[in-house]
């Protein structure tokens, strides 16, 4: 199948009860980029990702892919900030998306072993997934999204509340995905993480994209005083 990307938002707004949550937004997400969305609480990061993924309808404006919306939906995954585990073992949480695609049981099991190893949870494969710790669930949710190799993946603060080891496990997975040219869009409040992972940055403020560009240029020389202040830890 040809690529679903780029994704383009044109003059997009999400409003609730007359209040503008995000907009106007014009941006595109290109293939093989790891785009990090940063910005203060309430800036609209989650709403923007939900809108791009189709979980949140646009009040006005246009969301387009390089293919039909239905084909695009099939090829993308979204990991929310507080992921929900199926009431099954960790192994079954990992193999379920593969079984849906018709992968054989033995191949799915081999992949589950591999991904559990990558998130340092191989010892927990037979545990009940809902009983895993919050941080363990977050790792499983990211692995469960990546295991079926979607073309586009949204991650909403995947490392919030994670300790250093778990954060490193997730970053290691994401760096491998970046090297494999998977397209990823994720939000984070961890600027060190943004520097380590991003190829592009979207800095949101007040429901709008305040500044965007290549990650190296953005971090070296932000163009707006607000982005510069945010990067130095000032409240904006
Ligand atoms: N369902 C909703 N109804 C009304 N207002 C909402 C709704 N969802 C979000 N908002 C508002 O939209 C704005 C953007 O929220 P959003 O969750 O997108 O911000 P965020 O950048 O992800 O923040 P955080 O860093 O805290 O996760 C906030 O002012 C929030 O209160
Ligand atoms: Mg959010």
**Domains of the chain (ranges plus CATH)?**
7-83+151-231 (3.40.50.300)
- What is the per-residue pLDDT for 236? 87
Give the mean pLDDT of the chain.
97
Asked whether residue 221 carries a pLDDT value surpassing 90, the answer given is yes
Asked whether residue 1 carries a pLDDT value surpassing 80, the answer given is no
Q: What is the DSSP letter of 62?
A: E
**Rounded Cα gap, residues 55 and 40, in angstroms:** 22
List, as ranges, residues with CB under 5 A of the ion ligand 2.
Answer: 45-46
Token duo for residue 5: 């990307």
- What is the per-residue pLDDT for 2? 82
Ligand 1 centroid–CA 91 distance in Å is 33
Q: From the CB of 45, is ligand 1 less than 6 Å away?
A: yes
What pLDDT band is residue 235 in, cutting at 50, 70 and 90? confident
Buried b vs exposed e over 116-142: b needs ≥16 C-beta within 10 Å? bebbebeebbeeebeebeebbbbbbbb
> Distances from the Cα of 68 to the Cαs of 3, 5, 53, 154, in angstroms?
11, 11, 13, 19
- What is the per-residue pLDDT for 130? 97
**Rounded Cα gap, residues 46 and 52, in angstroms:** 10
**Rounded Cα gap, residues 112 and 107, in angstroms:** 9
Asked whether residue 186 carries a pLDDT value surpassing 70, the answer given is yes
Quick one: which atom of ligand 1 is closest to the CA of 207? 14
Read off the pTM.
0.97
């Amino acid at each position: 199948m040809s690529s679903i990307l780029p994704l383009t938002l044109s003059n997009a707004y999400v409003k609730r009860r007359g209040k503008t949550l995000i907009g106007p937004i014009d941006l595109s997400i290109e293939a093989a980029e790891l785009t990090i969305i940063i910005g203060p609480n309430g800036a609209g990061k989650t709403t923007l990702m939900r809108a791009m993924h189709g979980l949140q309808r646009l009040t006005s404006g246009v969301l387009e892919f390089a293919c039909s919306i239905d084909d695009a939906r099939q090829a993308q995954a979204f990991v929310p900030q507080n992921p929900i585990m199926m009431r099954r073992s960790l192994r079954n949480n990992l193999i379920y998306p593969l079984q849906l695609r018709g992968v054989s049981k033995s191949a799915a099991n081999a992949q589950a072993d591999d991904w559990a190893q990558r998130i340092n949870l191989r010892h927990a494969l037979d545990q009940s997934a809902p009983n895993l710790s919050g941080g363990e669930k977050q790792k499983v949710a990211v692995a469960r999204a990546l295991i079926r190799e979607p073309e586009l993946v949204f991650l909403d603060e995947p490392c919030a509340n994670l300790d250093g080891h778990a954060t490193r496990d997730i970053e290691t997975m994401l760096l491998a995905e970046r090297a494999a040219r998977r397209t990823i869009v994720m939000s984070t409040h961890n600027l060190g993480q943004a520097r380590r992972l991003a190829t592009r940055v979207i800095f949101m403020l007040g429901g709008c994209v305040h500044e965007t560009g290549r990650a190296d240029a953005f971090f070296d020389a932000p163009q707006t005083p607000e982005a510069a202040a945010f990067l130095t830890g000032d409240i904006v």
